[in-house]
């Protein structure tokens, strides 16, 4: 058993997702004390830091909530803070960030504070001030979550084992009442404590602790899927740092997303960002594979920043486009090299493009006919995001990797290359095919790139499709049958 290895990005986050994500969990404040160091203390062999100032950042579940808002979603945060200066600072910061906070304020209890002493962008020491939340207040947290559940499109449980999530099943009961999808970020509890969760998001140490060992690479997919099934969760999304992110479905399916190539500066809070991104994408109704891909990019993005940080929808989409282009570049280079070799042998190159979402008899016939116009046939395929822009929400039905695999299986097709632009004009300029072919009811003058190809002496052809053979018609018939 092996995981499907996914390299390219497809779907992008909308600028305004218009979703409401409910976050519940342990709330913290991350404080960074900055200073300069140029000598060692006479009292002990430790550096002396001349403190220049400090900054506070939201941590734990509060950081997840801030990431949700940064990604354009609406967020309600439920948790507990103490009636202390740290708790009041957290409350003010949540309000300033535009987060709707429904917090249990506990007299005589200390809000979790993590202080880091930083010099020259390096942490010298971290000091944690924390107490476990008394059980009676965890019960109040559950009650407040239940009150907000009906308005939530997704729920994120951020469990740092500080006491706010004493019993995940009590929260799951409220979620199941409203059929709310749940993403849970665990810590030390058994994975079975999160039974019923849609996505469980452990890191490597948590996953290894749950299994009791780290499997060999060849056994990892089977072990992960078996753990998801035994734990009663739909899927486990395992964050693996520099090794990327792997999704284990309880059904036995496995998907791996390699880590993005970034300069890692600080991994603090990256898991919070991944959880928040999974929450927003799940609220949008995205397939798990799509959510995992963009969450993987988000986690890598915050690793390039100092300290507890967030990712915005704009910078996340920009990073996703860059990764998609990088993934497609080798395929394009391989194609241009192959075309050059074919031309040296006097072969005639035919080019066509399309979405090829649901491959039907019309496509097969037209591609076979196109191949007869030359010696080699190139099929350029719109990636998922460009299909969505062209065809609207709900398309494509089949992801890019599946569409490529089906096309590559056709005898008439020599090469398949994806493109992310709305038109194939850039590809045409790189390849300069001898024949440009389009299928359907087009006038040659309406074929994109026709003027360019004819300008250097190439040929342009329009080939008909079989009547009553259309992907859109097929999709409509399926939807009518389901209705």
Q: Nearest 5 degrees, angle CA 296-CA 70-CA 264?
A: 40
- 3-class DSSP assignment, residue 245: strand
* Catalytic residue (one of 26, 30, 153, 272): 272
Q: What span, in angstroms and rounded, lies between the C-alpha atoms of 318 and 373?
A: 39
Name the DSSP letter for residue 251.
Answer: T
Structure tokens at 348: 């005639």
Which residues are within 8 A (CB) of 405 and not within 5 positions of it... i.e. 6 or more apart? Answer: none
Q: What is the DSSP letter of 241?
A: G
Cβ contacts of 73 within 8 Å, gap of 6 or more: 17, 19, 20, 21, 279, 280, 283
- Residue 263: active-site member: no
Q: How far is CA 269 from each of CA 261, 302, 432, rounded to the nearest angstrom?
A: 18, 8, 48
Token look-up 């070799």 returns 341
> Strand runs (DSSP E) across 20-99, as ranges?
20-25, 27-40, 47-60, 74-82
Q: Which residues are catalytic?
A: 272
């Amino acid at each position: 058993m092996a995981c499907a290895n996914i390299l390219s990005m497809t779907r992008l986050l909308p600028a305004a997702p218009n979703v409401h994500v409910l976050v519940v969990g342990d709330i913290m404040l991350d404080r960074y004390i900055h200073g300069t160091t140029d000598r060692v203390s006479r009292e002990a062999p430790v550096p002396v830091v001349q403190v220049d100032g400090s900054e506070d950042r939201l941590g734990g579940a509060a950081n997840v909530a801030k990431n949700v808002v940064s990604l354009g979603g609406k967020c309600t945060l439920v948790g507990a803070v103490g009636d202390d200066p740290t708790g009041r600072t957290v409350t003010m910061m949540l309000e300033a960030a535009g987060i709707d906070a429904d917090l249990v304020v506990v007299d005589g209890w200390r809000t979790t504070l993590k202080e880091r002493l930083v010099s020259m962008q390096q942490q010298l020491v971290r000091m944690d001030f924390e107490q476990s939340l008394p059980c009676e207040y965890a019960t109040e947290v559950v009650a407040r979550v239940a009150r907000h559940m009906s308005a939530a499109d997704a729920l994120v449980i951020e469990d740092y084992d500080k006491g706010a999530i004493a019993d995940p099943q009590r929260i799951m009961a409220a979620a199941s009442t409203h059929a709310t999808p749940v993403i849970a970020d665990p810590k030390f509890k058994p994975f079975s404590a999160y039974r019923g969760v849609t996505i469980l998001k452990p890191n490597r140490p948590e996953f290894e602790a749950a299994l009791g060992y780290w499997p060999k690479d060849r056994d990892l997919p089977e072990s992960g899927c078996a753990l998801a099934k035994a734990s009663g969760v739909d899927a486990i999304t395992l964050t693996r740092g520099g090794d990327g992110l792997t999704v284990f479905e309880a059904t036995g399916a496995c998907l791996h997303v390699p880590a993005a190539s970034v300069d890692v500066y600080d991994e603090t809070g990256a898991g919070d960002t991944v959880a928040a991104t999974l929450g927003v994408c799940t609220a949008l109704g995205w397939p798990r594979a799509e959510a995992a891909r963009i969450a993987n990019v988000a986690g890598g993005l915050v690793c390039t920043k100092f300290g507890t940080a967030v990712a915005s929808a704009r910078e996340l989409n920009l990073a996703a486009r860059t990764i998609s282009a990088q993934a497609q570049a080798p395929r394009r280079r391989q194609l241009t090299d192959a075309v050059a070799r074919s031309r040296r042998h006097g072969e005639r190159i035919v080019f066509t493009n399309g979405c090829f979402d649901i491959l039907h008899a019309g496509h097969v016939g037209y591609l076979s006919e196109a191949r007869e116009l030359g010696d080699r046939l190139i099929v350029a395929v719109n990636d998922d995001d460009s299909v969505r822009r062209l065809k609207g929400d709900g398309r494509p039905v089949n992801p890019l990797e599946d569409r490529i695999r089906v096309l590559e299986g056709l005898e008439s097709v020599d090469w398949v290359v994806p493109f992310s632009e709305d038109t194939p004009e850039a590809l045409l300029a790189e390849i300069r095919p001898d024949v440009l072919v389009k299928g359907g009811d087009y006038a040659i003058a309406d074929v994109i790139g026709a003027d360019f190809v004819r300008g250097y002496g190439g040929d342009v052809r329009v080939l008909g499709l079989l009547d009553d053979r259309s992907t859109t018609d097929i999709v409509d018939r399926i939807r009518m049958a389901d209705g």
